[in-house]
Structure formats: structure tokens, C-alpha cells
Amino acid sequence: MKKNQISILGSGLIGSLLSIYLKRRGLDVSIYEKRADNRKGPYREEGRSINMALSDRGWRALEKAGLTEKVKPLTIPMYGRMVHDEHGKTNFLPYGKDNQAIYSISRGKFNQLLVDEAETAGVKVNFESKIEDVDLKNFQIELTSLQSGEKETIASEVIIGSDGAYSSLRNAMLKQMRFDYRQKYISHGYKELSIPATAAGEFAMDPNALHIWPRGNFMLIALPNPDKSFTCTLFLPFEGDRVCFENINDERDVVGVFKTYFDDAYELMPNLTQEFFANPTSSLINIECFPWMLKSALLIGDACHAMVPFYGQGMNCGFEDCFILDEIIEKYGTNAWELVFAKFQKVRKPNTDAICQLAMENFEEMKSDVADPKFILRKKIEAKLHQLYPKEWIPLYTMVTFSRMPYAEAYYQGKLQQKIMDRVMADPLITQNWDKLDYEDIINQMDKARAV
Amino acid sequence: MKKNQISILGSGLIGSLLSIYLKRRGLDVSIYEKRADNRKGPYREEGRSINMALSDRGWRALEKAGLTEKVKPLTIPMYGRMVHDEHGKTNFLPYGKDNQAIYSISRGKFNQLLVDEAETAGVKVNFESKIEDVDLKNFQIELTSLQSGEKETIASEVIIGSDGAYSSLRNAMLKQMRFDYRQKYISHGYKELSIPATAAGEFAMDPNALHIWPRGNFMLIALPNPDKSFTCTLFLPFEGDRVCFENINDERDVVGVFKTYFDDAYELMPNLTQEFFANPTSSLINIECFPWMLKSALLIGDACHAMVPFYGQGMNCGFEDCFILDEIIEKYGTNAWELVFAKFQKVRKPNTDAICQLAMENFEEMKSDVADPKFILRKKIEAKLHQLYPKEWIPLYTMVTFSRMPYAEAYYQGKLQQKIMDRVMADPLITQNWDKLDYEDIINQMDKARAV
């Protein structure tokens, strides 16, 4: 039987970054991954990816691993949302101040880079290793090599499950006494589509924005890629509404929906119907559980807090997990894993609960609110408040995306702001009067609310 | 490969009763059970059972299977709660009207009877058959015979999981897309203890009551057995409080807690310390999930709605599941399982959600409220209301325990009553004035509340 100091399950974004941190602390680290090494041969994304948007928390974690400069070339900055109405008219809503952006990046290439870096650092990455079971009594991983078909048992001092929403380690923990767990699917599914580069080899739309076609209970989004294409994601209810996946069964249905609701995008999507039926319809899950650890086994990232993608924080939150775990290891050393993991879950759980909740709430904003003039005005007022009082009023999106404030704190401040802004927006003449508002009074209200 | 028409997982109370119903409809029914046949050799309950309390819903289901007369001799009626205070003084709180009782029954003997009846009806019960996996694509059960060690694959037209809180069928469904699931442990655990018959061979306390020692955040209960012993259950927080399982580590600790808080019971428990350390500390789980079915596979009983034991409805609710499923089969026949199961989960889910919630809420009542004079007065007023207006005011406990009203309806009516009674009890002079209350006015308030 093989013996490892640290076994990481899953070579995804979180597992690879974490392995680099741990290796740099002088530990013996091995990763086990079911999938084949996709750096060899043509890369297949399986048509079910939503492009990632790197923001401050993610960059901070990459910085700590010395990877900023290597990752940058893979990204494209998006400075705001480009909202497309049903007539093809667009309206740009900035995410923050002029220089603040989130960075579009494709999961596949990013993951390849991180695995390369992990191997360079000395991590042993074992592909095509399917975890059959995690034995939490004896701290052994049972796996099958998908190449040879052979079974292997690996003893480990530490087991870390960064194996995503369908985690094997979590499945083993699920059978332990007093493990709380919840998985909840939302009513909507999604499908990956694309907008290729133009015949002239250029971006078909402004590349420095996240494009949204909000249509009430459904939406289309598009994020730019360095090859000048856009990765699009269509979010629809599975069933029940007039426009839903269940009601789209042939090419005519697809074209009908796109011509009616996304006509300007449709003109840019020559492969639409082919992609629609070739790519799977995927579901969206929210996962919460506790505890995240058992002795020296730990869950991290989506394995313990999978969230819906509507705040663009899933990967950033997972990277922040790694960053914070590494800080705790720095403090308590590499000989007290139970203590380290206990500290980690205690400090981290309220924050991941908050961002899971915010991600759920933000779906409403993306698919509906961004098309509402009142919502746009509200954002404008908040931006003005932030400009006048940069420390006293930081819009929620900015706290989450462009700061490192704990998510739970951002959530709390956001709720206070929401109440005050509800009052401000209740003025029936707000549309005319917004630039004559008593901004100082709003800040005073916020101070009072915080003091309670 | 063997082929079954209907495979039931688990030969517990629910699985055995259901098998009898289905067999009587002329179906070919087999049960698979991991445990050995406990009818052979000395019966072991593993020291982790809480006595069951049969009430109206359970009796109705047994009646339909023609089993009432066979089950009765195993039961002892309990007409109310006997509340023991810290000085050993007791106070009897009736459950309902004079003749209304719930019936104490030990799980083991009851289960043996039901398995006997299932076999007599022609059901094939396979013991020591451990389910390794349920293949929901091919509708096959993979099991290992614990006697021979051999593996077997069984194809089935219909698979029903009555395999309890840790259901194998549910585990297979958990991996399916869009299966919502939640398991939540409460902060308290429990331990089985006992009060034997006296030296004279008699009950050591009144056998026709459910005995409770409510102590705020913890409690002891005792239910009678036909052999004149009582099965006791101690409910304590696992940790955190002064009195909790974590703080009881040796005989002195056990005796200390019992002499301080349960002195009158302690005098009747000669085997206390031995049992305390021999019996496991078990945890209490609440499980909710949806859907309950996939094609012609169905979850039933604890497998889809395990509840905490504080309303005494876990078994009764599972039996009512069987009763209602059988009614739906009667209506739609035995050739339309998907339709039958879809109807079943739709009608049943709101009701099991309601009783799960009530069971959680009733813990507070048992461990604390029953010792509160205001609570006792409240019950008295409600009993009087019920006596004066038997149809207009049925106390919540009566609706749940002595009626067949859907649980969700009982829950709703109960919440209306609660609001009205909160108002009644807010009168600072209620203790003196309660028998001069305007009862008609209370009923009118209830009518108005219902009409909203």
C-alpha cells in the first residue's frame, strides 16, 4: 500500500492551487483526478462550462502563489454589464469605478496552467484515478486506475476533498453521524452556446463587458475569450413557463425563441441550433454542509459550498478558501491538522453561507432587475454615494467583488444599505429629484443603522 | 439474473406492512433486508430503540391489513403524560378525552409479527441481504448475501425503498440530477435505559401513562412494556451544556446526574450505570427530500421523511404512507406505477413536511413546557373548548394523534389556534379568570381566522 502525507481529491482549479500552496510548505502532496490529462490531445470542455470571472479575491490568492503574471494573458477585463434590450439596444452599467473590472477566463486553459504549475512545484498529479471510496476510519482512499483497471489503496495522513459539488469525500462524510447536509437545485438549467469571431477575425461585440440579455424569468449572457469568440450561457426554467427547456424540441423552437427574445445575439450565432442540441442542459445546485472536516480530512471549495453562478464568486470563493487555509497553516504549522481544519471551518462557514445566499439573490438582479430603469437609477445613486463617501458607502457588489471584506460582513452591510435605499427609492419623484438628494443624510442614516 | 415484479428494500415496520398490502393485490413481492432474521435465536434490540406509540393513523393502516386483533396484545394504552418534577411529585396530563390513548409497543416484537404476517401472505423475505447499490438506469439491485458472501443482481419492475433514514435507494437517487435533499441532526442525542419490573413482578410505576421528567433543556421518558418493565430514553445535548453526554464519563457522573435530576426514577433503575455505558448514544436526524420517485422506484417512510421522535408519529406516518399509497393503487391499478407514485408524492409531501416540523417543535413542549403551570392551564382551556365545541375547536395534539385529518391541515389549524390562545394567555389575570372566559367569543375568533 502506498502512503502519502497529503492526498488531494480533484485536480480542478481549487485542488491545483491548494496543492501549490501545500507543496511550498515542504509537504508531500499528491492529487487524484478521475479525468484524463486534458493537456494532451485536443482539449474538450464538454460544452457545459460557464466562463469564469476572476475578481479581487481570486487575484489575491493567485498573487500569493506568484501566478498573477502567468494568468493575466488568459484573461479579458470586463468593466461592466452590457445590457441588451429586445430591440438590440444596449446600455452599459459599470461594475465599479473606471479602472475596476472582473476578468473573463475559460476554465479549461486556466486549469491546464494551474496543473502545469503544480507539477513544476513538485506535486504528483495522478489522472484517470477514479475514487471508489474514502475510508474515514483507516484514512485510506480506494481508487481504480481507469487505464489499467487496477484497484489501489492509498493511506494518507491528510485527505483534502476539492472534488466539487459531487465530492467523494463528502459522500463518505455524509454517512457519518451528525453531518448536516443540504443540496438544492434551482428551477432553472443552463446551456453553453457561442458567438464566434467575425469573418474579419474580430470580436463580434464589445469584448470589455459581460453581455446580458435579461428577459424577466430567463436570460442569455456572453463572456469574451482571448480567441475573440464569446462563450454564451442560456438560463431557462426546465419546465412550467412558456419559454423553458421542455418546450424547445426542434430547430424551429430554438430559432423562434432566439429571434423573438435575443435577435441581435441570434444574428451572431451561426452554430446556434447545432450547439443547442449537441450541448447538454445542465442543472444548478446549491450545497451547504457542516462540519467540513473529520479528523485530518477536509472539504474545500464546491465540495462543501457549491453555489449558483450568479455572483461570479464560486471560483473566487474557492481560491479565498485556499488563501485563508494557508494563513491558518502558517500560524499553527503542519503538525496540527485537526486544529487547523477546525479553525478554518469556523472562520469560513459564515462567509460561504453569505455568498451562497447572495449568489441565489443575484439571479433576480441579472435576469430581471438590470432592465428596470428604477434599478439602474438606484445603482447610479449608490455609485454617487460611493464617490462622495468612498469609505462610508461601498456598494454591495463592490464589497463582494473588489474588496477582501469577509462575505458575511458584506452581506450584513448590504442588508442595511438595502433598507435605506428602499426608503430613498420610495419617493415617487425620485426620478426627477435624484441629483438633489441629501446624500449626507443618507450616510447619517447608514451610520445610525450600523450603530444599532 | 433473478427477476422480481416488486422488490422492497428493508423489512422494518413500514416495509413489512406495505408488502402485505401489495401481496394482497396479487403482486409478486420480495423483501431484501441486511439484518439477520431476529425471530430465530434470542432477540437483540441493540439498546438503541425508543418505544413506539401507536395512535389512530397507525391503527387505521393495521385495520386495513386485518391486523388489529393480533397487534393489540402487544400494546399498553397510555392515556396521558405523567409529569415527574424534581421532588418526585407527579402530575397527570391527559392526551385527550377519557377513552383516548396512544399505545406503547416495542419495535422488536411488533416487527417480528409483521414479518410473520408478510410471509404468511406469501411475501418472500430475504434476510442477510446487503444492498450494495441500486442501479436506477437498468432497474437492478446489487446485493451481497452476508451468509455466503456471494453477490447477486436482481432486476425489478418496481423498487420500493422502505429502508429508513440511511436508505440505499435514496443514496442512489441522491446522485440523480435535480434531487433535493436535506439531512439535519439536532443538538441532542439519546440513550436507551430501563426500569425493570419490581421484585414482586409488578410495574414499578403507573403503566397507563407516558412518563416524562422534563428538565428544561433535557429530559427522561419511560414507556411501559407487557413484561412490566419500562423502556426509558434519556435525551441530552451532546455537548455545550453542563448536563450533556460529553460531560458524563464515569459511574459517578451518571449517578450524579440521576440523583440530582431524576431521583425518583433513579431509585427504580438498578442497572442504570451498566446500561448507560453498554448502550450507544444515538443521534437524531430530520430528513426531507424531493422527488420521492424515479420512474417506478419509490421512497416511503423514514427513507424520504425521517423525523425526530417527539410527536410519536414516525411509525404512524409511515403506516399512513402505506395506507394512502394503497388507496391510490386501488384507484389507478397495478399497471401504472409512475402515475401512482407521482400522485402519491404529490398528495403526501405537504403532510410529511408538516409532521416533520411539528415533531421538531414538540421537543420544546416535552422537555420544558409540560412543567410550566401556564402551559398546563393553556391545555386545560383548550380541553374545555373542545368539550364545549367538539367540532369547532380540536386541540392540535388531538388532530394529529386521534384523527386522520391530513397533517398539513392540522398544522394550519394549530397555527391559527396558537395565535388565538397566545392572546387569551396574555391576560395577566388568566390564572384566576380562566373558568369565566367567554368561550363563545374564542370560537368566533377562530371562525374569523379560518375565513381569512
**Set of cell numbers at residue A154:** 492509498
- Bridge-based pairing of strands A219-224 and B293-294 is unpaired
Residue B133's CB is within 10 A of a number of other CB atoms, namely 13
> Helix crossing, B407-425 with B337-367: angle to 10°?
30
**Hey, which residues does B302 pair with through a beta bridge?**
none
Give the Cα separation of A144 and B198 in Å (integer).
60
Cβ atoms of residues A327 and A26 within 8 Å:
no
Give the Cα separation of A45 and A41 in Å (integer).
13
**Hey, which residues does B153 pair with through a beta bridge?**
B142
Name, in order, each residue with C-beta under 8 angstroms of A275's C-beta and a sequence gap of 6 or more.
Answer: A47, A192, A193, A194, A269
The mean pLDDT value for B376-391 works out to 95
Give pLDDT tens digits for A31-54: 999 999 988 765 555 667 778 999
**Set of cell numbers at residue B227:** 413484561
Regarding whether B431 and B308 lie in a shared domain, the answer is no
Best probe of the B interface among A180, A190, A244, by most B CBs < 10 A, is A180
Regarding whether A422 and A343 lie in a shared domain, the answer is no
Regarding whether A437 and A337 lie in a shared domain, the answer is no
User: Quick check: is A401 in a domain?
Assistant: yes
Best probe of the B interface among A171, A174, A177, A188, by most B CBs < 10 A, is A177
Closest-CA residue in chain A for B284? A178
The mean pLDDT value for B99-105 works out to 96
Query: With an 8 Å Cβ cutoff, are B183 and A174 in contact?
Result: yes
User: Quick check: is B423 in a domain?
Assistant: yes
Buried/exposed B213-245: b ≥16 CB within 10 Å, e otherwise: bbbebbbbbbbbbeebbbbbbbbbbbeebebbb
Q: Does A183 touch chain B (CB under 8 A)?
A: yes
- Domain end position, chosen among B343, B362, B381: B362
Instruction: Tell me: pLDDT of B376 over 90.
Output: yes
Regarding whether A377 and A356 lie in a shared domain, the answer is no
Regarding whether B388 and B347 lie in a shared domain, the answer is no
Give pLDDT tens digits for B320-348: 999 999 999 999 999 999 999 999 999 99
Give the Cα separation of B329 and B22 in Å (integer).
9
Query: With an 8 Å Cβ cutoff, are B181 and A177 in contact?
Result: no
**Set of cell numbers at residue A296:** 485530518
Q: What is the pLDDT of residue A51?
A: 86
Instruction: Tell me: pLDDT of B82 over 70.
Output: yes
Q: Does B175 touch chain A (CB under 8 A)?
A: yes
Question: Can you tell me which residue has the cell 452599459?
Answer: A92
What would the DSSP string read from start to end of B173-221? HHTSTT-EEEEEEEEEEEEEEEEPPPTTSS-SS-TTSEEEEE-SS-EEE
Q: Does A290 touch chain B (CB under 8 A)?
A: no
Regarding whether B435 and B310 lie in a shared domain, the answer is no
Q: C-alpha angle B173/B178/B179, rounded to 5°?
A: 40
Question: Can you tell me which residue has the cell 386485518?
Answer: B66
**Set of cell numbers at residue A398:** 463592490
Residue A4's CB is within 10 A of a number of other CB atoms, namely 19
3-state secondary structure of A123: coil
- Domain end position, chosen among A362, A385, A411: A362
Cα dihedral B38, B41, B42, B43, rounded to 10, equals 10
CB-closest option in B180, B185, B283 to A185:
B180
Percent of chain A with pLDDT over 90: 91
What would the DSSP string read from start to end of A396-410? HHHHHHS--S-HHHH
Burial of B447 (0-12, 13-18, 19+ CB in 10 A): exposed
B426-430: which pairs have CB atoms within 8 A and are 24 or more residues apart?
B430/B377
Regarding whether B353 and B300 lie in a shared domain, the answer is yes
**Total domains in the fold of chain A:** 2
Instruction: Tell me: pLDDT of B44 over 80.
Output: no
Give the Cα separation of B98 and B28 in Å (integer).
44
> Helix crossing, A314-332 with A13-24: angle to 10°?
20
C-alpha distance from B296 to closest chain A C-alpha (Å): 21
Q: What is the pLDDT of residue A41?
A: 65
Best probe of the B interface among A48, A178, A186, by most B CBs < 10 A, is A178
What would the DSSP string read from start to end of A275-301? HHHHSPPEEEEEEEEE--EETTEEE-T
User: Quick check: is A272 in a domain?
Assistant: no
Q: What is the CATH number of the domain that holds B327?
A: 3.50.50.60
3-state secondary structure of B293: strand
Cβ atoms of residues B281 and B245 within 8 Å:
yes
Give the Cα separation of B192 and B231 in Å (integer).
7
Regarding whether B158 and B111 lie in a shared domain, the answer is yes
Which of A391, A212, A242, A381 is CA-nearest to residue A312? A212
Residue A310's CB is within 10 A of a number of other CB atoms, namely 23
Which of B160, B155, B145 is CA-nearest to residue B1? B155
C-alpha distance from A68 to closest chain B C-alpha (Å): 36
Phi, psi of B53 (to 5 degrees): -125, 105
Q: Does A181 touch chain B (CB under 8 A)?
A: yes
Give pLDDT tens digits for B156-191: 999 999 999 999 999 999 988 899 999 999 999 999
User: Quick check: is B339 in a domain?
Assistant: yes
Q: Does A176 touch chain B (CB under 8 A)?
A: no
Query: With an 8 Å Cβ cutoff, are B166 and A175 in contact?
Result: yes
Give the pLDDT band of residue A194 (cuts 50, 70, 90): very high
Q: What is the pLDDT of residue B41?
A: 65
Query: With an 8 Å Cβ cutoff, are B185 and A182 in contact?
Result: no
Q: Does A277 touch chain B (CB under 8 A)?
A: no
Which structural domain range is residue A163 located in? 2-39+107-183+286-362
- Domain end position, chosen among A319, A341, A362: A362
3-state secondary structure of B125: strand
Give pLDDT tens digits for B344-371: 999 999 999 999 999 999 998 899 888 8
User: Quick check: is B84 in a domain?
Assistant: no
Chain B residues in contact with A238 (beta carbon < 8 A): 178
Cβ atoms of residues B2 and B160 within 8 Å:
no
Closest-CA residue in chain A for B286? A180
Q: Does A436 touch chain B (CB under 8 A)?
A: no
Chain B residues in contact with A181 (beta carbon < 8 A): 181-183
Give the Cα separation of A291 and A306 in Å (integer).
15
Task: Please give the single-letter amino acid code of residue A153.
Answer: T
Give pLDDT tens digits for B266-318: 999 999 999 999 999 999 999 999 999 999 999 999 999 999 999 999 999 99
Tell me the C-alpha to C-alpha distance, in Å, between residue B217 and each of B93, B188, B283. 20, 9, 16
Give the Cα separation of A365 and A216 in Å (integer).
10
Question: Can you tell me which residue has the cell 425620485?
Answer: A430
User: Quick check: is B329 in a domain?
Assistant: yes
Task: Please give the single-letter amino acid code of residue B231.
Answer: T
Chain B residues in contact with A132 (beta carbon < 8 A): none
Chain A residues in contact with B175 (beta carbon < 8 A): 166
Which of A413, A405, A425, A423 is CA-nearest to residue A449? A413
Residue A63's CB is within 10 A of a number of other CB atoms, namely 13
CB-closest option in A166, A181, A184 to B183:
A181
Q: Does A185 touch chain B (CB under 8 A)?
A: yes
CB-closest option in A179, A184, A238 to B180:
A184
Chain A residues in contact with B182 (beta carbon < 8 A): 181-184
Burial of A54 (0-12, 13-18, 19+ CB in 10 A): buried
Give the pLDDT band of residue B98 (cuts 50, 70, 90): confident
Regarding whether A112 and A19 lie in a shared domain, the answer is yes
Give pLDDT tens digits for B14-36: 999 999 999 999 999 999 999 99
User: Quick check: is A236 in a domain?
Assistant: no
Q: What mean pLDDT value characterizes chain B?
A: 95
Query: With an 8 Å Cβ cutoff, are A181 and B182 in contact?
Result: yes
Name, in order, each residue with C-beta under 8 angstroms of B431's C-beta and a sequence gap of 6 or more.
Answer: B373, B374, B377
Regarding whether B439 and B306 lie in a shared domain, the answer is no
Task: Please give the single-letter amino acid code of residue B176.
Answer: Q
Query: With an 8 Å Cβ cutoff, are B179 and A185 in contact?
Result: yes
Regarding whether B37 and B157 lie in a shared domain, the answer is yes
Closest-CA residue in chain A for B238? A178
Query: With an 8 Å Cβ cutoff, are B178 and A184 in contact?
Result: no
Phi and psi based region of residue A209 (left: phi greater than 0; alpha: psi -120 to 50; beta: remaining):
beta
User: Quick check: is A113 in a domain?
Assistant: yes
Give the Cα separation of B174 and B294 in Å (integer).
11
Regarding whether B423 and B289 lie in a shared domain, the answer is no
Return the biggest CA–CA distance within chain A: 74
Q: What is the pLDDT of residue B45?
A: 59
Percent of chain B with pLDDT over 70: 98
Query: With an 8 Å Cβ cutoff, are B183 and A178 in contact?
Result: no
A vs B, Cβ pairs < 8 A, gives 34
CB-closest option in B174, B182, B283 to A177:
B283
Q: Is the peptide bond before A373 cis (omega within 30 degrees of 0)?
A: no
